[in-house]
A and B are shown apart, each in its own frame.
Chain A
């Protein structure tokens, strides 16, 4: 069973003041290869912080992140992050932004070029390769962010409310595209959102982070019926997730 584990979080506790106040406490979570996990919780609860702990950008006070991967591969990166604000580098063209994570990897020029092109094709931005970020729309910027994360061929793709700032139409389009990309690439995705419907639409499993300090308040395996918007299982799932967020009842289905 351990073979298909990508990463596990073991009793993570995070505090910025040496333990006087905890932001995250006793957070334990396993991510299995190929699954699409939505990390759901109210704004400001610490979801983004947890992503940064997984990335290694923030060091927890307690616990540890275990990354289960084969021998270190100089041709890939273990994790890649898609930011909420896209965070493109303004002085780099679209293609050069996508290339950012590839720099320093043991790849030939041609291999890098191929990866950039295939990532841009995957997000439908081949024609925009030479444009400057400031000329792009919000949706296009996020696509570049996704392409940049995909080029490093990560074991784990972390996404920090990537579509949160987009208009509803663009948002739905990008959600559909992300699902297609996930089906094509079989990446393991940890997707942060505060939107219950978005979590149900995208994820195979939803993990609720709630409370102060934040901990895992519940888990839900998403079935195909739950993805039918306005169906009875969908409505039940929404209610169940809401109560988990509110901390009323906790239904564990790990």
Chain B
């Protein structure tokens, strides 16, 4: 049996865990267990962050990356979920696309970078494309699985009450019934999107990823860690905000 830990206790425990993590890290560097040239001490992160903010790099990088992230997430999620729903509903389309999907699915987002540069260039569109691709598949499979697992008895119910046609079934049964699965896909994509931001910006499109690459080539590990933490916080924030949407849409489940 899983012991239930109260919400408050849970937050407290994770705060304690974070404090232990950072103090242990600080101790390891100051005591010399970890060489400070390889790992920056947490204490050096604050000044490094202030420098980045004063010079405006930090704000600019966040703005650029957020743009790539939001656009890529939106495009990848909408197209992925849309095609997933269609394939889940239409046997013909599902069959036609099966081979193509099997072929393209294993290609990681990073592998598309050369084409992103070729087709869009070193700009927002190129970065957006890489992020959209990696988010696309997550949402495609989540939506596809969700549609496939809709209880067929609900379609019988719809037919019994005059909603047997395709569009009525889609809007009255399929979409709401698969909402939990689609929402789960969106949430996974939310995390995957941030991971892809780094990949998308590695080749020089300005943003958090590009700034990290610059810092690492100068061995400024403290700056690298500042941006790692920035990204973690941005992910936590987007996930937190999405939680409200999810809880509202799926309020019938709780």
Q: Which residues of A contact B (CB under 8 A)?
A: 55, 57, 77, 79-81, 83, 85, 87, 89-93, 100-101, 103-105, 132-134, 148, 152
Contacts and interface: CB of A to CB of B under 8 A. Distances in A.
B187 to A, nearest CB: 18
B153 A77 contact: no
19 contacts: A77-B162, A80-B160, A81-B160, A83-B157, A85-B153, A87-B153, A87-B157, A89-B176, A90-B252, A90-B253, A91-B252, A92-B252, A104-B162, A104-B168, A132-B252, A133-B252, A134-B253, A148-B161, A152-B162
Given A87-B153, A90-B252, A91-B252, A57 B176 contact: no
B148 interface: no
Given A57-B156, A80-B161, 7 more contacts: A89-B154, A89-B157, A100-B163, A103-B162, A104-B163, A133-B252, A152-B162
B179 A91 contact: yes
A83 B153 CA distance: 10
A48 B161 CA distance: 17
B12 interface: no
A138 to B, nearest CB: 17
Nearest to B179: A91
Interface string B144-158: 000000000110110
A112 to B, nearest CB: 14
B177 interface: yes
Contacts of B252: 90-93, 132-134
B159 interface: yes
Interface in B126-185: 153-154, 156-157, 159-163, 168, 172-173, 176-177, 179
A148 B177 CA distance: 19
Contacts of B160: 55, 57, 79-81
A105 B163 CA distance: 11
Nearest to B176: A91
A83 B159 CA distance: 13
Interface of B: 153-154, 156-157, 159-163, 168, 172-173, 176-177, 179, 252-253
A100 B159 contact: no
Given A91-B177, A91-B252, A77 B161 contact: yes
Contacts of A81: 160
Contacts of A132: 252
A85 B151 CA distance: 13
Contacts of A103: 162-163, 172
A75 to B, nearest CB: 12
Contacts of B172: 100, 103
B251 to A, nearest CB: 8
A133 B154 CA distance: 14
A203 B172 CA distance: 35
Nearest to B159: A57
Contacts of A100: 157, 161, 163, 172
A80 B160 CA distance: 7
